[in-house]
Amino acid sequence: MSEILDSVSKKSDEHEFYNPRPSGYEIGKTKFVIVYGTVMSGLGKGIFASSLAKLFQLKGLKVSIMKFDGYLNVDAGTLNPFRHGEVFVLDDGTESDMDLGTYERFLGLNLTKKNYLTGGKLFWEILNREREGRYLGRDVQFIPHVTGEIKRFVRKLALSSEADVVFVEIGGTVGDIENNYFIEAMRELRYEEGKENVCQVALTYVLNPGFLGEQKSKAAQLGLRALMSAGVQPDMIACRCENEVIEKVREKISVAANVPFSRVVSTHDVKSIYLIPSMLERARIDEQTIDLLGLRSRVVPDYSGREDWEKYVQKILNLEGEVTVAMTGKYTSLRDSYASILKALEHAGTHLGVKVKIKWIDTTDLSFEDAALALNDVQGMIVPGAFGSRGAEGKINCIKYARENNLPYLGLCYGFQMAVIEFARNVCGLAGANSSEIEKDCLHPVIDLLPEQQRIAELGGNMRLGGHDVEIKPGTFAASLYGSEMVRERFRHRWECNPAYLKQLEEKGLVFSGKAPGREIMQVLELKGHPFFYGTQAHPEFLSRPLKPSPPYLGFLKAVLG
């Protein structure tokens, strides 16, 4: 019997480890900060991760950042904004979670598909590997193969980014079935890399019921215990609450989770998310993390970067004026649907020293009379991006009011298209003008799919996605906004201005001041004689940064201020 067993063991070189590492990867060269959620989702894990990463940047450390999302969609492109918030588009065309927008704005980075992993994308890759025989005849399992591929993804980003620290945000909440394998993978990562190379942060929620008049930590304690039962011992805890979490509550959480009190920090509501880094810095969370990860020798403070950032923060704290802008759309009940637009307005407003208030106007079944009444007390109007027919006529009515009453107007993607339709109907006299998206067989399809798009049947296959160059017409208002005749913006749309109607539209005064280089794809429009009537097929909000506001947004708010 012993001879048979020896023979079997010699023939089999299998073991239980599956620990894929990219060629050239070295343990310890890149450190990791993993951010987990407890109690509930939507607490601001992305904001915390971005804020701490920003502090690391200001200390001269190179950072990168990524997000795990547990849903089985391959990307965020087909998710309903009502359920998920906005879809943020990266320069390479990746349709991602809105947290990647937060990362880019805080850190000034242009992220790619390497920074975003969904359950659908993960399993797609695993099944392709299995079909190609990459698992050498093994039965493919969650452990070690699914968790191993997650670790491979993380290490590939560490290697390609050459970052000192990679921040990893795990979407959702501990206990979610769809996130269990991500949490397990990060537990294994710490086991394999060593605790000196991986810092684990738990974000939790401290209840503050108005009827009790005091903060309660029991839900936070139970959430942290659930995380610990999954094998994850937090190194620090961020406590979300409407008001600053009192010392007594933080002490309870410290004891319950075996985390030193100095590493249990209050991350309560503040005037702007851009104040969070200074909140963490006052609690010395950045310094403690650097010591936990042994990064002290790599710190080389970025004094000029810190000065620029602190100037911006001081502007936020000292805004004097206030303006009101209408947001006319169909997702107005969920503000996260327009997260990047709100941030772009904040960036431009802070630059100009004013706070921007939003008046939300649902355009579903909105008549011209209703639009006029709703818009008579605002200083500017935005029609954001969208798909589908619901609310379209209401948006067209709002645009007509803005055009006729010299109300500053910014049309984004769908807002560009609706502006073309409104102008065609009411200025060019093209009754029945519409988009073939809304009315397939309309009399005048001034907005239509281009011929090369019509041959593509797959949903998303005919989308214009990601970063594209825009050729700006010299001498136009757009040229004065950008100060350049070639710019790059990000896009996410399927329908275009129909080239067959360009001559009629231009003869009546509509100016197409930006287009795709070498092609008749119109991407920017403006109206002469109007204080600010500007539409773009792009989403310039995706490139707006705190220290570098988007030119169209900056120009829009300047017009709003008169």
Whole-angstrom Cα distance, residue 101 to residue 116?
12
CB 188 within 8 Å of CB 147:
yes
Strand partners, 268: 241
Whole-angstrom Cα distance, residue 54 to residue 93?
25
Whole-angstrom Cα distance, residue 476 to residue 462?
30
Whole-angstrom Cα distance, residue 551 to residue 344?
10
Q: In 175-320, which ranges are E strands?
A: 198-205, 236-241, 264-268
Give the Cβ contact number of residue 260 at 10 Å: 11
The token pair at 424 is 């065609």
Helix (H) or strand (E) holding 409: strand 409-412
Whole-angstrom Cα distance, residue 99 to residue 66?
9
Whole-angstrom Cα distance, residue 34 to residue 240?
17
Dihedral of the alpha carbons of 491, 94, 61, 166, in degrees to the nearest 10:
160
Selecting among 239, 413, 428, 497, the annotated active-site residue is 413
Whole-angstrom Cα distance, residue 349 to residue 554?
8
Counts of helices then strands in the chain (DSSP H, E): 20, 21
Whole-angstrom Cα distance, residue 439 to residue 365?
17
Distances in Å between the Cα of 233 and the Cα atoms of 124, 186, 223, 249, 378 are: 31, 11, 12, 19, 51
Whole-angstrom Cα distance, residue 387 to residue 363?
14
Peptide bond preceding 445 in cis form (omega within 30 of 0): no
Any catalytic annotation for residue 497? no
Please choose, from the candidates 384, 309, 406, 304, the residue with its C-alpha nearest in 3D space to the C-alpha of residue 350: 309
Please choose, from the candidates 55, 37, 33, the residue with its C-alpha nearest in 3D space to the C-alpha of residue 239: 37
Any catalytic annotation for residue 26? no
Selecting among 95, 149, 496, 541, the annotated active-site residue is 541
Any catalytic annotation for residue 310? no
Give Dmax (Cα) for the chain.
96
CB 173 within 8 Å of CB 37:
yes
Selecting among 347, 351, 530, 539, the annotated active-site residue is 539
Whole-angstrom Cα distance, residue 17 to residue 297?
33
Please choose, from the candidates 159, 200, 150, 178, the residue with its C-alpha nearest in 3D space to the C-alpha of residue 19: 150
Please choose, from the candidates 121, 124, 98, the residue with its C-alpha nearest in 3D space to the C-alpha of residue 111: 98
Whole-angstrom Cα distance, residue 177 to residue 179?
5
Q: Taken in order 538, 539, 543, 548, is the CA torsion positive or negative?
A: positive
Q: Is 368 helix (H, G, I), strand (E, B) or coil?
A: helix
Catalytic residue positions?
Answer: 413, 539, 541
